[in-house]
Amino acid sequence: MKKLLVLLLTAAMTVGVLGACAVAPAAPAASGTESAPAVAEAAGETVEAEAAEDVSYKDTIIIGTANDQNIMDGHNNNTNDVMLRAVYSQLVRKGADNKIEGDLAESWEVSEDSLTWTFHLRHGVKFQSGKELTAADVKASYDRLLGGEQRYSSTVSGYITGCNVVDDYTVELTTPTPIAPMLTNLCHRAHLILNADYIEKYGADLGTSVETTDGTGPYKLAKWDMDQEMVFERFDDYFRGPVPTKTIDINIIKDANARLVALESGAVDMTSVGTSDLATVEANPDLVVWKFDSIGTQGLQFNCANEYMADPRVRQAVSLAIDRQLIVDTLYSDIGEKACTCTVHPLIIGYNDLGVIKQDQEKAKELLAEAGYADGFDIIIMDSGYNKSLEACEMIVAMLAEVGIRAEIDTVDSATFRGSMGNRSFPGDNFKWALFYMGWGGAGDADEMRRVWTTSPDGNNNNNYGWYSNAEVDQLLADAAKEMDEAKRMDLYKRAEEILYIEDPAAIFMNDRFVFWCTTNKLEGLKVNVNSVIFWDELKVAE
């Protein structure tokens, strides 16, 4: 970190004298879901030209990122998948080509009644602690998740009833009914497999430190200074074979401008930057923008426990008061992102094009008057630092004012955001926001809506952070999960999406996302799937 600060200070003094540079084209997004996106041909040729036969590669890749992990435990991590997947593996995963493939399981089959899934584990897989993985670790991981006390216990509630050990290398997952999206759901971070010994020894503290983190992935967590730095060392006994780069050094740099300076100065090899800075990166011949398809969507979620937002008419009014197309055209069109047309991204199985909701402020006023709020009311909107979310919130505040809703913006840091999302006590005594900026994605199937939008069985928010509840949606999503006729399943999702998106809105779905990484032109082999998971097997940086 000291080295990083010195480089940043040096760069800050010299960045002003940098000359104009030729454009380095960004990578085109992948079409469909059949192949992972790559660098654009021109940029790819630049990288390949650098990679001569006699080139040597760095032992360490330094990555700048905006946020630390809240916990290195897939059952409870609500930050992102990036670093978890460096440490952990799961039964099956979505590969860089976005197709489901075996991970810890080398093969699997489902019973004739579709109620028992049998997974055959690879032999000789080692945890970073040196212990061999067996079916007992898989069972302990699922028993913990099925216990109902983890953040993502809702990912298995209602569709996995148990995990049974057949022998040391064979395990069964049982379901109460046939589950159509079973394999896709198993790709969620909640299904990363933990060491049974660590579950027993550390309990809720598992994944809170270097000592309590143990997985079967390509890297071992070696150092963790919260909100400053994470260091990952190569695990040479990784079952797929050792990855090319020895060390991954993650520097937490909260400010987007500081991350850009760090990249330009060479203090980091790879980073995320604000999308408004992408043109600057593209104009620098020493840097490359990598653009990847994503299944992420962002927008404002309703807090349905709020006294005003509890009324569907008010939520409809708020939704209709906002000109989504104008906001997206103003803030996101320069990077190719489009306004949402559904509750899920177009690349998610179960997507239906319902169109961009058009602004209708007269109708919004009518609905407010019908709900008893002709004179409007005062609310607070949480901005949690999503891409250009503050600018979006500012535009939304102005639009809401035109229908009589007086809103103020409360910008919170990532710790406050994560802490508030974990508040499960209805109606959320410390949850003062009527709307809050969020992102949605999931594993890649519309069944993800069941985790996010169905009424929680204990009445708390769990992963349904806004306490949304609609009995028809609950039933539609439950029926869709077990409907094996694909056409009928899609019809069920369409009806649920119509309710969630228009009739009884759960959120203001704003824009469908891309994922951008910016790197030096010496970085090679960056592969990212639509879940934003980085694959480390080819990632390296030339000296």
Encode pLDDT of 476-515 as tens digits. 999 999 899 999 999 999 999 999 999 999 999 999 999 9
* 56 in a structural domain: yes
* 39 in a structural domain: yes
The CA distance from 200 to 195, in Å, is 9
Q: Please give the C-alpha separations between residue 69 and each of 78, 227, 230, 496, in angstroms, as whole numbers.
A: 8, 8, 9, 33
- Domain total of the chain: 3
State which of 155, 175, 205 marks the end of a domain.
205
What does the block give as tokens for 329? Answer: 């055209």
When pLDDT is averaged across residues 310-326 and rounded to a whole number, the result is: 98
- Same domain assignment for residues 338 and 368: yes
State which of 171, 205, 239 marks the end of a domain.
205
State which of 170, 205, 240 marks the end of a domain.
205
pLDDT in the model for residue 251: 96
What does the block give as tokens for 133? Answer: 């993985």
- Same domain assignment for residues 492 and 355: yes
- Same domain assignment for residues 153 and 192: yes
Residue type, position 1, single letter: M
The larger pLDDT score, comparing residue 419 to residue 128, is at 128
* 38 in a structural domain: yes
Q: Which residues lie across from 247 on neighbouring strands?
A: 60, 233
The CA distance from 411 to 416, in Å, is 10
The per-residue b/e assignment along 222-248, b for 16 or more CB within 10 angstroms, e otherwise, is bebeeeebbbbebbeebbeeebbbbbb
Lowest mean pLDDT among 43-47, 323-327, 394-398: 43-47
**Is the Cβ–Cβ distance between 455 and 469 less than 8 Å?**
yes
Q: Report the CATH number that the domain containing residue 525 is assigned in CATH.
A: 3.40.190.10
* 74 in a structural domain: no
The CA distance from 196 to 172, in Å, is 17
Is residue 24 predicted with pLDDT exceeding 50?
no
pLDDT in the model for residue 505: 98
The CA distance from 514 to 28, in Å, is 11
The larger pLDDT score, comparing residue 157 to residue 534, is at 534
- Same domain assignment for residues 348 and 399: yes
Quote the percentage of the chain above a pLDDT of 70: 90
The CA distance from 351 to 134, in Å, is 37
The CA distance from 357 to 322, in Å, is 9
| Alpha carbon 439 to its chain's center | 7
Phi, psi of 457 (to 5 degrees): -60, -30
- Same domain assignment for residues 327 and 435: yes
The 10 Å Cβ neighbour count of residue 166 is: 12
- Same domain assignment for residues 397 and 498: yes
Q: What SS3 state is found at 333?
A: helix
- Same domain assignment for residues 383 and 476: yes
Q: Please give the C-alpha separations between residue 13 and each of 2, 18, 244, in angstroms, as whole numbers.
A: 17, 10, 35
The CA distance from 227 to 345, in Å, is 31
The larger pLDDT score, comparing residue 189 to residue 8, is at 189
Q: Report the CATH number that the domain containing residue 99 is assigned in CATH.
A: 3.90.76.10
* 366 in a structural domain: yes
Encode pLDDT of 193-221 as tens digits. 999 999 999 999 999 999 999 999 999 99
Q: Which residues lie across from 93 on neighbouring strands?
A: 101
**Structure letter (DSSP) for residue 497:** H
- Same domain assignment for residues 137 and 248: no
Encode pLDDT of 130-189 as tens digits. 999 999 999 999 999 999 899 888 889 878 999 999 999 999 999 999 999 999 999 999
Is residue 278 within a helix (H) or strand (E), and if so which, with residue range?
A: helix 278-282
Is residue 36 predicted with pLDDT exceeding 70?
no
- Same domain assignment for residues 505 and 527: no
The CA distance from 473 to 498, in Å, is 10
Averaged pLDDT score across all residues of the chain: 89
Sorting pLDDT into bands at 50, 70 and 90, what band is 316? very high
Is residue 38 predicted with pLDDT exceeding 50?
no
Helix pair 324-331, 389-401: axis angle to 10 deg: 150
Task: Return the ∠ at Cα 5 (arms to 275 and 283), rounded to 5°.
Answer: 35
* 525 in a structural domain: yes
* 210 in a structural domain: no
- What is the torsion angle, in degrees rounded to the nearest 10, for the CA atoms of residue 210, residue 215, residue 220 and residue 225? -30
* 77 in a structural domain: no
Sorting pLDDT into bands at 50, 70 and 90, what band is 415? confident
pLDDT in the model for residue 154: 82
Residue 438 burial by CB count (10 A; 0-12/13-18/19+): exposed, middle or buried? buried
The CA distance from 507 to 513, in Å, is 16
- Same domain assignment for residues 196 and 325: no
The CA distance from 428 to 420, in Å, is 9
* DSSP for 7-62, written as a single string: HHHHHHHHGGGPPP----PPPPPPSTTSS-----HHHHHHHHHH--TT--B-SEEE
The CA distance from 529 to 517, in Å, is 13
The CA distance from 218 to 236, in Å, is 8
What does the block give as tokens for 75? Answer: 């059952």
pLDDT in the model for residue 53: 66
- Same domain assignment for residues 362 and 459: yes
What does the block give as tokens for 355? Answer: 């169109």
The 10 Å Cβ neighbour count of residue 402 is: 12
Q: Residue 34 is part of which domain span?
A: 2-14+21-66+218-286+521-541
Encode pLDDT of 230-287 as tens digits. 999 999 999 999 999 999 999 999 998 999 999 999 999 999 988 889 999 999 999 9
- Same domain assignment for residues 196 and 238: no
